[in-house]
């Protein structure tokens, strides 16, 4: 039976690789809807290739242009358009790969309409994990992780109850340096999160909601070769590990086919050629973002949402060269210090915390930039 998929974030890295998986198995998958932000040119090619019944883009003007070009395709726009694609009647599952906290409302919409959610967006659970869990229970929904580490944990649990730089060197890191990830080809935001180790912090919070674990049961280990994606320890002391080459098409395909597996033509791992696999704990002094994430998770409520929003603003400021690399965690910490959180938030509380934290981060960044400008004036 063909499974109909809606893809939110179709022009990003995960979205494009999802379409590769769909193309490799045309007898198993069809695309019901696509959503992207502003990459209209790539979306045009995707529409011609997979012929979805509906698409959504960021701006109304782009939606009208596409509607004229593709009169048989329903074209939507903005946050409401994203939710329309997430709730398409013909879609069996919704792969959510949009960047940042924009995916939260769409995930809730998909769950409430009985869709299986394939989640490749960390920030949805970071900001709104408690609300997502309530929706899953209320609507008896299903959520399958796509992120490689969480997919690996998910698979291990089935059937069961980098470069090292000194602090001085980090101060000199430029956007073009931080965007060079050694094993994964990813979008700019997630690559910077990986460089600051905020990505691991977000994954810890995500794992808390995916697997109903306390923070003390989730450990971060650095593994430069990116071959082992998870290790799960059971009560008898045995450990199951999930291994594969670093290729996101593998967890994407597993999420699409769960609980079955399809054959694939992707490159295979040869254990005899792996060489030495190494592991070591993260340096929390060099990478304070990890402790910021653990701290926000421990506080709970709206603190993770505020942290996530402050991080998104900080990364944008770094990429535009308005702040330095080491200023990212400092700016996030300032926002969290000023945050007056709500312990049992609903979705509106989460969205308000997100809005407030963005304004607060921009305010602090602007004040710091102004102070530096005054200091260098003659």
Closest CA to 26 of 47, 12, 5, 45: 5
pLDDT value of residue 366 = 75
What's residue 170's pLDDT?
47
pLDDT, position 368: 56
CATH architecture group of domain 162-210+287-376: Orthogonal Bundle (1.10)
* Residue 78 Cα to chain centre, angstroms: 19
3-class SS of residue 227: coil
Q: Is the pLDDT of residue 373 over 70?
A: no
> What's the number of CA atoms in the CB half-sphere (13 Å) around residue 100?
18
pLDDT for residue 370 is more than 50: no
| pLDDT bracket for residue 70 (50, 70, 90) | very high
In whole angstroms, what is the distance from residue 238 CA to residue 158 CA?
Answer: 15
| Residues across the chain | 378
Model confidence at 188, in pLDDT bands (50, 70, 90)? confident
Average the pLDDT over each of 99-108, 255-264, 302-311, 329-338 and give the range with the smallest value: 99-108
As a whole number, mean pLDDT of residues 163-186 equals 49
Per-residue tokens: 378:
């003659």
**In 113-166, where does DSSP find H-type helix?**
122-139, 148-157
| Closest to 66 (Cα-Cα) out of 85, 46, 84 | 46
Q: Which two tokens stand for residue 99?
A: 């960047």
What would the mean pLDDT of 211-218 be, rounded to a whole number? 90
Burial of 98 (0-12, 13-18, 19+ CB in 10 A): buried
Task: Share the mean pLDDT of the chain.
Answer: 89
Residue 95 β-bridge partners: 7, 118
In whole angstroms, what is the distance from residue 35 CA to residue 177 CA? 30
Q: Quick one: pLDDT band at residue 292, thresholds 50, 70, 90?
A: very high
Q: Say if residue 341's pLDDT is above 90.
A: yes
Q: Tokens representing 20? A: 């590769």
Residue 27 burial (CB count, 10 A): 8
Confidence check: pLDDT of 229 > 60: yes
> Which of 34-43, 57-66, 260-269, 355-364 shows the lowest per-residue confidence on average (mean pLDDT)?
260-269
**Weakest-pLDDT range from 50-54, 85-89, 109-113, 232-236:** 232-236
Residue 369 token pair: 């930039």
pLDDT tens digits, one per residue of 152-170:
999 998 766 534 445 555 4
Whole-prediction pTM value?
Answer: 0.85
Higher pLDDT: 20 or 213? It is: 20
Pairing type for strands 29-35 and 74-77 reads unpaired
- 268 or 176, greater pLDDT: 268
Strand residues in 103-262 grouped as ranges (E): 116-119, 143-145, 228-233, 239-243
CB 298 within 8 A of CB 343: no
pLDDT in tens, 85-138: 999 999 999 999 997 777 899 999 999 999 999 999 888 999 999 999 999 999
Say yes or no to pLDDT of 17 above 70.
yes
> Domains of the chain: which residue ranges?
3-156+246-257, 162-210+287-376
Q: CATH class for domain 3-156+246-257?
A: alpha beta
User: Which pLDDT belongs to residue 114?
Assistant: 96
Cβ neighbors of 38 (< 8 A, separation 6 or more) are 57, 58, 59, 62
- pLDDT greater at residue 122 or residue 63: 63
For 237-289, how does the pLDDT look when each residue is reduced to its tens digit (9 = 90+)?
999 999 999 899 999 999 999 999 999 888 899 999 989 999 999 999 999 99
Q: Is the pLDDT of residue 371 over 70?
A: no
Average pLDDT for 57-65 = 97
The proportion of the chain whose per-residue pLDDT surpasses 70, expressed as a percent, equals: 89
Structure confidence at residue 186 (pLDDT):
52
3-class SS at 294? Answer: helix
pLDDT category at 201 given cuts 50, 70, 90 is: very high
Instruction: Find the mean pLDDT for residues 277-304.
Output: 95
Round to whole Å and give the CA distance between 141 and 112.
Answer: 8
In this predicted structure, the answer to whether residue 206 has a pLDDT above a threshold of 50 is yes
* Strands of the 29-35 sheet, one edge to the other: 74-77, 54-57, 29-35, 3-8, 93-96, 116-119, 143-145
Asked if 4 and 30 count as a contact pair (C-beta separation under 8 A), the reply is: yes
pLDDT at 374: 36
Predicted pLDDT of residue 175: 54
Residue 178 banded pLDDT, cuts 50, 70, 90: very low
Q: What is the pLDDT of residue 340?
A: 95
């Amino acid at each position: 039976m063909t499974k109909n998929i809606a893809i939110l974030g179709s022009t990003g890295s995960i979205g494009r690789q999802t379409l590769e998986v769909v193309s490799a198995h045309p007898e198993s998958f069809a695309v019901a809807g696509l959503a992207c932000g502003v990459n209209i040119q790539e979306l045009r090619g995707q529409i011609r290739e997979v012929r979805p019944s509906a698409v959504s883009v960021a701006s109304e003007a782009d939606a009208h242009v596409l509607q004229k070009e593709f009169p048989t395709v329903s074209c939507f726009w903005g946050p409401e358009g994203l939710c329309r694609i997430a709730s398409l009647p013909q879609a069996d599952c919704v792969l959510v790969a949009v960047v940042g906290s924009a995916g939260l409302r769409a995930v809730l919409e998909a769950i409430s309409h009985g869709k299986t959610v394939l989640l490749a967006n960390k920030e949805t659970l970071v900001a709104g994990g408690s609300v997502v869990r309530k929706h899953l229970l209320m609507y008896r929904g299903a959520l399958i992780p796509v992120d490689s580490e969480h997919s690996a944990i998910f698979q291990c649990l089935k059937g069961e109850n980098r470069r090292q730089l000194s602090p001085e060197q980090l101060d000199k890191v430029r956007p073009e340096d931080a965007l060079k990830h050694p094993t994964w080809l990813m979008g700019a935001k997630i690559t910077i999160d990986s460089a600051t180790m905020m990505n691991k912090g977000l994954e810890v919070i995500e794992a808390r909601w995916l697997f109903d674990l306390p923070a003390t049961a989730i450990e971060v280990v650095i593994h430069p070769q990116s071959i082992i994606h998870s290790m799960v320890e059971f009560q008898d002391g045995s450990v199951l590990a999930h291994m594969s080459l670093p290729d996101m098409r593998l967890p994407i395909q597993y999420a699409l086919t769960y609980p079955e597996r399809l054959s694939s033509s992707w490159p295979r791992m040869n254990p005899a050629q792996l060489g030495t696999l190494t592991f070591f704990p993260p340096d929390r002094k060099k990478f304070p973002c990890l402790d910021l994430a653990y701290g926000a998770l421990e506080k709970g409520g709206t603190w993770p949402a505020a942290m996530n929003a402050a991080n998104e603003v900080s990364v944008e400021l770094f990429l535009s060269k308005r702040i330095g690399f080491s200023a990212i965690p400092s700016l996030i910490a300032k926002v969290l210090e000023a945050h007056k959180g709500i312990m049992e938030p609903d979705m509106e509380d989460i969205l308000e915390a997100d809005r407030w934290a963005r304004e607060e981060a921009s305010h602090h960044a602007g004040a710091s930039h102004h102070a530096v400008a005054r200091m260098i004036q003659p």
